[in-house]
Copies of this chain bind each other. A is one copy, B any other.
Amino acid sequence: MAIEPENEHYILTIGCPDRTGIVAAVAGFLASQDCFIRESSHFGDMETERFFMRTVYLRGQKSPPQESLVAQFSKIATDFQMDWAIYDGHARPKVVILVSRFDHCLNDLLYRYRTGALPMEIAAIVSNHPELTSLAEWHRLPFHHFPVTEETKSEQEAKILGLIEESGAELVILARYMQVLTPEFCAKMPGRIINIHHSFLPGFKGAKPYQQAHARGVKLIGATAHYVTAGLDEGPIIDQAVERVDHSDTTEAFVRVGRDIECLVLARAVRYHLERRVLLHGVRTVVFR
């Protein structure tokens, strides 16, 4: 699944109306540019007749400069009405992490960041509480304490947006950030904000999902990583996981057990995003694992 870091490699993602000849056109073009396909995944949705593709290619000795290759490709893209992008496989996208007081997801993300398991640059950690300053500092990462109330929310979000723009961050990770973002904020970054919700959506939306789950007497609890949209906990799902619980587990035990799933699911979703494995498909996602 994951590709190992090495020579120049690029990731091409495509979404377009499905028809005969797309793969031939793309693969033929890459071959003509002496590019070697190392990974390639396709999906044609028969219902929506939309086609999705992710291809990892290595440049060969006879490949033209990358800019001219990209320019050439844009002609094919136009012919097939593609939404497309080509990413440098070595680039480490910049992210901003929002967090409140619970630090298990942050701690997990930072560990994976520190060991290179998540290929990203952390432009900033923002919290509405000051507690996690020292954790950020130990990782030598900028920490911003932006308190927030209902009255100051738009102002606080403006500060966050300022940080995002300044740093050129392309992804925001809500690592158990307990504030609901305004629709305006969400609308500015479609498909670029990942949240971890501590339930198996669409069950138990909103506040206190573990309490809700406990009251309902479920036998499995879950976590869901999804892109954030204006609809609370309604955005496109990237990944989910569950863990078994039983009658003897208190709400506190649900919280404890759930913590591990939250970390795993969020880290997986972030990795998929960073490796350009996630393509939006309306209210759903295509995830090329």
Contact = CB atoms under 8 A, between A and B. Distances in A.
A92 interface: no
8 contacts: A2-B253, A27-B28, A47-B250, A201-B216, A216-B237, A218-B237, A219-B239, A247-B286
B246 A287 contact: yes
Given A21-B31, A37-B23, A203-B203, A240 B219 contact: yes
A87 interface: no
Copies of this protein in the complex: 4
Interface string A244-266: 00111110110010011000100
Interface of A is mostly: mixed
A41 B43 contact: no
Contacts of A218: 201-202, 237, 240
A220 B268 CA distance: 15
Interface residues of A, number: 74
Given A28-B28, A200-B220, A203-B201, A20 B34 contact: yes
Contacts of A25: 31
A129 interface: no
Contact of A111 (B107, B217, B250): B107
